[in-house]
């Protein structure tokens, strides 16, 4: 790790490749990569399993108090899997059932407070790349490098469809499009920490970039910020 580790935040729309870039960037720099969306997904999975009524702040608070989140490095993925109360739930949190509920759960102020506190603790030593929606605006407003990622909507739908249909061939592209549009809308219009481009973020539109090209651009920014 370089002598002056920094914090790199990567925010942007659903399925525009934030995690792919964050993971590659962290590997190149020897930094820790944290997928903050996985935390909201794991909370959602717990709420679904327990049948938590999202309109009851009492039920939400009680359930949050029962949750312990952690990460464990998975060498096969070259990234960390999320652990919910001792159970590795990485594959489960990527399922459609969770995707359909997660934006509602992530809009709750108590859930955001719970997640943000843990995210800030993880970044205390710097040397971290974290991706999400509010990382550059709320979690680490003082981050040394902020990247805002975007890509054409239809490109994002196609990428997400390819990923999900490989696991579940019955899934339709319309269902994927509908879910993505709904999540984009909810993430950008919610009251609590909506998706916003930080005023000092660098914009990366990867509609026609390969993963190698986008990594090259981001690495240039990172090396300039590290100095
Ligand atoms: O990045 P993702 O698709 O795995 O995120 C899942 C959901 O969690 C998404 O609908 C937005 C929400 N999220 C959030 O509100 N804030 C974050 N920092 C990360 C994700």
Is residue 190 in contact with ligand 1, taking CB distance under 6 Å?
no
Is residue 45 in contact with ligand 1, taking CB distance under 6 Å?
no
Q: Is residue 25 in some structural domain?
A: yes
Q: Is residue 227 in some structural domain?
A: no
Give the total number of structural domains in the chain: 1
Cα–Cα distance, 71 to 59 (Å, whole number): 25
Domain containing 77: what range? 7-222
Q: For position 78, what pLDDT does the model report?
A: 86
Q: For position 115, what pLDDT does the model report?
A: 98
28 alpha carbon to ligand 1 midpoint, in Å? 24
Q: Is residue 2 in some structural domain?
A: no
Strand partners, 129: 8, 33
37 alpha carbon to ligand 1 midpoint, in Å? 4
CATH code for position 31: 3.40.50.300
Is residue 135 in contact with ligand 1, taking CB distance under 6 Å?
yes
Please identify, by atom number, the ligand 1 atom nearest to the C-alpha of residue 19: 1
Q: What is the pLDDT along the chain (227 residues), one digit of tens a residue?
A: 446 899 999 999 988 999 999 999 999 999 999 999 999 999 999 999 999 999 999 999 999 999 999 999 999 988 899 999 999 999 999 988 999 999 999 999 999 999 999 999 999 999 999 999 999 999 999 999 999 999 999 999 999 999 889 988 999 999 999 999 999 999 999 999 999 999 999 999 999 999 999 999 999 999 999 98
Residue 136 CA to its chain's centroid (Å): 12
Tokens of 139: 């979690």
Q: Is residue 1 in some structural domain?
A: no
> 159 Cβ partners below 8 Å, 6+ apart?
15, 17
155 alpha carbon to ligand 1 midpoint, in Å? 19
180 alpha carbon to ligand 1 midpoint, in Å? 12
- Cα angle 6, 11, 17 (rounded to 5 degrees) comes to 105
């Amino acid at each position: 790790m370089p002598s002056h580790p920094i914090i790199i935040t990567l925010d942007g729309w659903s399925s525009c490749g934030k995690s792919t870039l964050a993971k590659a960037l962290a590997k190149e720099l020897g930094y820790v990569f944290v997928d903050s969306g996985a935390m909201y997904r794991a909370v959602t999975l717990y709420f679904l399993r327990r049948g938590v009524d999202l309109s009851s702040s009492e039920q939400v608070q009680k359930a949050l108090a029962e949750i312990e989140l952690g990460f464990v490095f998975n060498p096969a993925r070259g990234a960390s899997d999320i652990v919910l109360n001792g159970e590795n739930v990485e594959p489960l949190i990527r399922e459609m059932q969770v995707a359909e509920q997660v934006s509602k759960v992530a809009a709750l102020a108590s859930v955001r407070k719970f997640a943000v506190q843990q995210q800030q603790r993880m970044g205390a030593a710097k040397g971290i790349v974290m991706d999400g929606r509010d990382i550059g605006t709320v979690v680490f407003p003082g981050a040394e490098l902020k990247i805002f990622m975007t890509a054409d909507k239809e490109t994002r739908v196609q990428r997400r469809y390819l990923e999900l249909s490989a696991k579940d061939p019955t899934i339709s592209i319309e269902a994927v499009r509908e879910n993505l549009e709904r999540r984009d809308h909810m993430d950008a219009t919610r009251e609590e920490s909506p998706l916003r481009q930080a005023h000092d973020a660098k914009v990366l539109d990867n509609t026609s970039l390969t993963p190698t090209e986008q990594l090259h651009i981001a690495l240039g920014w990172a090396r300039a910020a590290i100095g």
